[in-house]
Structure formats: C-alpha cells, structure tokens
Amino acid sequence: MRPNYRIAVSLAIAFGIANLLAGTAGNRPIPASTAAVLVSESDFRPFEQDRAALGRLLFYDPILSGNRNISCGTCHHHSLASADGLPLGIGEGGTGIGSERSAPPGRHRIKRRMSRNSPALFNLGANEFRQVFHDGRISVDEKYGNGFDTPAEEFLPNGLSSVLAAQSLFPIIGEIEMGGSPDENRVAAAVNERLDYGWPLIVERIRGIPEYAELFGEAYADIRDGAPLTIVHVANAIGDFVGAEWRSFDSPFDRFLAGDENALTEDQHRGMLLFFGKGECSTCHGGKFFTDHGFHALAVPPLGPGRTRKFDLLPRDVGRMGESDALADAYRFRTPTLRNVALTAPYGHNGAFPDLNSVIAHHVDPLGSLSEWRPDSVALPDADWLEDTDFIVHDDRIEMTRFRAALDIEPVELDAGEIDDLVDFLKALTGEESVHGRLGRPESVPSGLPVD
C-alpha cells in the first residue's frame, strides 16, 4: 500500500476526497464543499421502468422531428458516449452520425451549424442537477408557476416530472436542431407562431401509431383510464429514460474511494493530488459529479454561429448573459461534469479543443492559449458555404477585447508532465459497464422510420 493510503481511503469514505488530500497531498487543505464522495443510486431521481423503456424508443424515433429525419439519439448516440463527437454538430438537414455526419449541399442545405457542442448525458438524472444546457436556460424554478424557468415561460405545460423532461421539449422544436423551417412542415410553422403550438402536432403523430398507443397505456394509469395523450406524457417518458440510462459511477476512482488501493495507477494518483491540490481544478469541478453547477468565463476560443440575440450583428455567444441579461454573466458557461470526460471529446461549450491535454493547457493559461489557438485544430463537418463565417468573430477587435476581459480563472503553473498526470486522472473517472447505458440503442422504433 502506498504511504498514507490506508488512512486516506478511510477518510475518503467518511468525509470525501478533500479530507483525503488534506492528509496526503502536501498542499493546503481543500474545502469540504468541493469534496467528491461515493455516489449511489440514492443520489438519483426515481424513475418508472416502463416509462424509461418507452422513452428509449421516443429518444431514437425521428417521428418527433419536424421533417421526420432526425432524433434525439442522432446527437446523443450510445456509440458516441451519449454525445456526437463533433465540435459543433449538424442538426436538421444533416445525414449520418458522429464523424460521418455531413451537410448535403443544394437548395435545402443547412443555414448554420449547431450553436454549441452536444453535451454528454451522464448522470444528469442525479438530484443535484437542477439546470441544463450550457447556459442553464432550463432550470427548476417556480417563476412561471409550472415548476421550471424555460424559454416557453408560462406556456410550458404543467405536470413535467423533472428538469430532463422539461429539457426534452425544446430540441424537438428548435429549427436547426430537430424542428426544421416553417416552410418545411406543420410543426415548425406552428412553433413560428408560438413556441408551444408545435407540441400538440407531434403528439398527434404519435397518437396515430398503434404500438405507441399501447405502450403509453401500459406506462400511464391516467391514459388507461381514458385521459388523452399529451406532450407531458412524452416528455416524462424521455426524461425517465435519460435520467436512468446513463448513470455512471463504476470508475477506477469510485473503486479507489470504496477502498481498493490498487484502483489507480501511480500516474493517476499523482494526477488526483494535482486535481484537488496545486492544479485547483476542484475549485469548480468539485462534488460527487465534479461540477459546482456554476457559470464561469474561461476564454474558450469562440467559433461557429454563436447563440446570437436579435441585435447581434456578428456571430457571437455571450453564454449565461443571453438568458439572464446580466452583464456580469457575459461569456460564462455552465461547469460540466467530468465523469466519463475522456470519452466525450472535443471539449468546451463549442468543442474548441480536440483533446484533454489541450483543454487542460487552456485552463492553465487561458489568455496565452487563446492567443496561440488556431482554427485548424477544430474538425468541423464540411460545409464550405459556412466556412467564411465559422471564425469571423476573431476579426471583431472590440468583441474580442470584451471577450478577453471577461475571465474567471487565473493561470496556474503546471508543466507538461503534470498536465499528462491530470489527463491520466481524468481517465480514471471513466466508468466501466455503465458507459454503454442500461437499455442501449433500439434496433427499431414504432414509427418504422430509420434508427440512426
């Protein structure tokens, strides 16, 4: 056993990794509020098994999209660790998955790329996750009397069982995600009139499929008793599926916390000490799921169409400020969980960094990294008609000055070897059987449409 490990492991179990490292790292103690401790099923919201099974089919069924040609699973695929492996994906109008996804040219070519990187879905069913999306635009909140603060405001229906259920309603009606253009289908045209008008049209489609009618009746007592199928039933099923499918806490690091002193390699152990000590990574990536759920400006190089507001003249993304309208939130993005992070490259809210070494190096020296960053490090799907604007924001001197001034982290002195050790530790956060999901991808869906 390595020096101090027996004491370290017992402390880890009782008090969390922060206390462990206070005794082993030789650095200043780390606040217990950033401690990572053992995760169990009790940390997650409950779910209904039959609803999760139904949600799995809906998740992969293109019937939910405006043009019936894309599903939630297209950008959050089991074979790609619940993400899509792209910096900025291609939603409605694209073909294929992962690195094979492309944007066909021609009259119906896509108008723009996805605004942000498709995040992985691991552990989002945990109780502590109360807001989702990179800017937190869906959150648990009674502001509008329906349990959530969302872009639909008071028009969001009542009865949604979780923040994941609420979240599921928006990609299906997003024009560049799954909805399509108003001139292409009835759903998109209805959404163009008012955000919530598209959902009943999607339900109308589902209601007309006999297998779905049977499955919804089995999953919901009120439907068996004669209540009509609504978008709330659809959303709750998808929410239960996402919340149950990707629960992952069977990594080497979890085994280490549980008492297996051989679970981590020497390199991973050094990286762990750096992570919770000198590297100060746990300042934001603390807790059971390695996130403080906060929003931080990190000077991640901007690219792509951004998430513009009506008065933005050039592509840009002001992050949390776009939702809060608070200047203090400019360029801040939500801290992602790091469990299974080694499986979900590229990194950053826009996929600006292709690997763990480069994104850690950016955290070590944000402004230096920003100055040295080059667009050719980003493997965007080919769409030559978009290339002129993919990186145009870097030509806006005033915008980039504002962008550089908004920074929440300071440089840390780490050499290349220490960065390698941190990468090795992050790999120790990769789950084993859990990364494949509980139910997996279905071979077919009730609509009969192709499954990506």
| Element containing residue 167 per DSSP (H, E) | helix 163-168
Contact by Cβ (8 Å): 153, 160 = no
Strand arrangement, sheet containing 148-149: 131-132, 138-140, 148-149
Residue, of 64 and 19, whose pLDDT is higher: 64
Q: % helix / strand / coil in the chain, to the nearest 5?
A: 45, 5, 50
What pTM value is reported for the model? 0.92
The mean per-residue pLDDT over the stretch 408-420 comes to: 97
Q: Would you state the pLDDT for residue 174?
A: 97
Give the chain's mean pLDDT: 92
Q: Does the CA dihedral 267-273-274-275 come out positive or negative?
A: positive
| Alpha-carbon gap, residue 74 to 101, rounded angstroms | 9
Residues of the chain with pLDDT > 90, as a percent, come to 89
The mean per-residue pLDDT over the stretch 286-297 comes to: 97
Backbone angles phi, psi at 77, to 5 degrees: -95, 145
Q: Would you state the pLDDT for residue 94?
A: 95
Q: Which of 33-47, 119-133, 176-190, 191-205 has the lowest mean pLDDT?
A: 33-47
- pLDDT of residue 182 exceeding 60, the answer is yes
- pLDDT of residue 16 exceeding 50, the answer is no
- pLDDT band of residue 311 (cuts 50, 70, 90) is confident
- pLDDT of residue 253 exceeding 80, the answer is yes
Name 186's Cβ contacts closer than 8 Å, sequence gap at least 6: 201
- pLDDT of residue 28 exceeding 70, the answer is no
pLDDT by residue (tens digit) across 66-94? 999 999 999 999 999 999 999 999 999 99
The mean per-residue pLDDT over the stretch 397-407 comes to: 96
Q: Would you state the pLDDT for residue 17?
A: 54
| Alpha-carbon gap, residue 6 to 9, rounded angstroms | 5
Residues in the chain: 452
Backbone angles phi, psi at 340, to 5 degrees: 65, 20
Residue, of 136 and 27, whose pLDDT is higher: 136
- pLDDT of residue 155 exceeding 80, the answer is yes
